[in-house]
Chain A
């Protein structure tokens, strides 16, 4: 599980296991209301409203996509312009060397290529992927159980307080773990 040598890159904290989607959604809202900000919710599938419940802000990936798309567009224009009109001008059907309509497909494809690959790359960076051997809180979390993990470094972390809140939100079991 955790790295045998060197300090663990994972955070220590407390995890509560819940048996239903409603409970974990409610628990996330309660933790947020109590002032916790660094906790995480773990679910086998996406839950509607969970981003808002955890107070997660919008991802910056759309901006990466837009920026990379704009770069791809510029590169496509420069590539077609330099190869067809500057470095090796070729007369095609008497059209001008720099004929925009003919270059649009290339410009378009490069825009998509840059935008798509950068989005995936940004996703990997922002999510810290690939995660090799992440700590396993509970095997059932990939199937039919849900969890809230509160790291010790979260604001106002106090074991008794967190445990009480977990119990009051209907946690099935509570364990100290790393994630």
Chain B
């Protein structure tokens, strides 16, 4: 079928990172390292929560890229063939999740009360949970999760990169089964990962929906990042014809959908706890409804759901790049605030803390994320040019 939308010139330029981007990545990593070192020497109680928040935030962005790649494989999506390499690039941070979580284990005693034998001995409930909440089992869980993600990433992204060279159509079909296995593995292990890293900061408290809550923020924020990446590549004329406003429009629809999904899950968690009013459950929200924390709780509702939802509602909003950049930046900022809001009240329940350590660690991990993507795109094409569904992606057109 001849289509008027596929007539534009198709070009993929090799990616050469600009000096500014390089400077940003390296100086951000430098600031992060300095922050971490000063913190370890002077104030480990402050630096580990900052490390955990920034690490979880960036890991989620990267895992979201892997999840996006997988769902496009397993639904046989054609429209996204020309932009899938962008989400594959986001996964280049995945190996760092293993390194980052192993480093986190060194500081875990500063974060998790259940790692302190005296606390557990005094607390019958925690003693009862020790079959799950113990250090060796947590290390095993983290290793299984991080190595599993790394392996799945190598299979799925590896197939795609191999196709760039060989042009073998069969590789596309070969990615479907690993994607199905990945989704199942991811659903279970990411739930445990979020429970281990975030929920067990407050080991007496539990929420059975916590894994989905973490996932909803993960996918919402990584879609926002994906849109920013698409706009960046398009604006810098690195790719012409392959990435169009139609693809960005559909990603923005995804973003709007998962903004609602986050609100739905967040409210489900809140309402059941609020309604049942059981002290061991309400503690979580009580801590977050006093002092400065209440304003952050309300801020999450307004700026992570209401504002982005209304801002993404009209059709023009999803097709206007500047508008999308603003909304995506807001969502990314709010995702950081969301993790901050989960982590920090456990350590400072009567005041807000935000300062050098938080900024430095966040910059450090963002720098690593940018650097890993830079290396990936320097080595590989910006578009999976030999994907057999490319024609479908090029003809992609969002109707009224």
**Which A residues fall within an 8 A CB radius of B?**
21-22, 46, 48-49, 51, 56, 58-59, 62, 66, 93, 101-102, 104-105
Contact = CB atoms under 8 A, between A and B. Distances in A.
Contacts of B26: none
Contact of B313 (A21, A58, A66, A104): A66
Contact of B399 (A48, A101, A102, A104): A48
Given A21-B1, A48-B395, A104 B400 contact: no
A18 B225 CA distance: 46
Interface of B: 1-5, 267, 270-271, 274-275, 277, 313-315, 395, 397, 399-400
A48 B5 contact: yes
25 contacts: A22-B2, A48-B3, A48-B5, A48-B395, A48-B399, A49-B3, A49-B4, A49-B5, A49-B397, A51-B399, A51-B400, A56-B400, A62-B314, A62-B315, A66-B313, A93-B275, A93-B277, A101-B267, A101-B270, A101-B274, A101-B275, A102-B271, A102-B275, A104-B271, A105-B271
Contacts of B2: 22
A56 B290 CA distance: 54
Contacts of A21: 1
A22 B271 CA distance: 54
A115 B2 CA distance: 38
Q: Determine the main DSSP class of B at the interface with A.
A: loop
Given A22-B2, A58-B315, A66-B313, A48 B271 contact: no
Given A48-B3, A48-B397, A59-B400, A104 B277 contact: no
Q: Determine the main DSSP class of A at the interface with B.
A: helix
Nearest to B272: A101
A125 to B, nearest CB: 18
A68 to B, nearest CB: 14
A104 B2 CA distance: 49
Contacts of B275: 93, 101-102
Contacts of A102: 271, 275
Between B2, B313, B399, the greatest number of chain A beta carbons within 10 A of the residue's beta carbon is seen for B399
A56 B313 CA distance: 21
Between A48, A102, A104, the greatest number of chain B beta carbons within 10 A of the residue's beta carbon is seen for A48
B268 to A, nearest CB: 10
Contacts of A66: 313
Given A66-B313, A102-B271, 19 more contacts: A21-B1, A46-B399, A48-B397, A48-B399, A49-B3, A49-B4, A49-B397, A51-B399, A56-B400, A58-B315, A58-B400, A59-B400, A93-B275, A101-B267, A101-B271, A101-B274, A101-B275, A104-B267, A105-B271
A101 B266 CA distance: 12
B374 to A, nearest CB: 36
A166 to B, nearest CB: 21
B269 to A, nearest CB: 11
A49 B275 CA distance: 51
A105 B270 CA distance: 12
Query: What 9 pairs across the A-B complex have the smallest Cβ distances?
Result: A48-B397, A101-B271, A101-B274, A58-B400, A51-B400, A22-B2, A49-B4, A93-B277, A104-B267
Nearest to B313: A66
Contacts of B5: 48-49
Contacts of B274: 101
A93 B276 CA distance: 9
A165 B3 CA distance: 23
Contacts of A59: 400
Nearest to A22: B2
A66 B315 CA distance: 13
B198 to A, nearest CB: 23
Nearest to B275: A102
Contacts of A22: 1-2
Contacts of A56: 400
Contacts of B400: 51, 56, 58-59
Nearest to A105: B271
A67 to B, nearest CB: 13
A95 to B, nearest CB: 8
A104 B313 CA distance: 20
Contacts of B315: 58, 62
Contacts of B399: 46, 48, 51
B177 to A, nearest CB: 32
A137 to B, nearest CB: 24
A112 to B, nearest CB: 11
A48 B398 CA distance: 8
A46 B400 CA distance: 12
Nearest to B314: A62
Between B271, B277, B400, the greatest number of chain A beta carbons within 10 A of the residue's beta carbon is seen for B400
A16 B1 CA distance: 22
Contacts of B4: 49
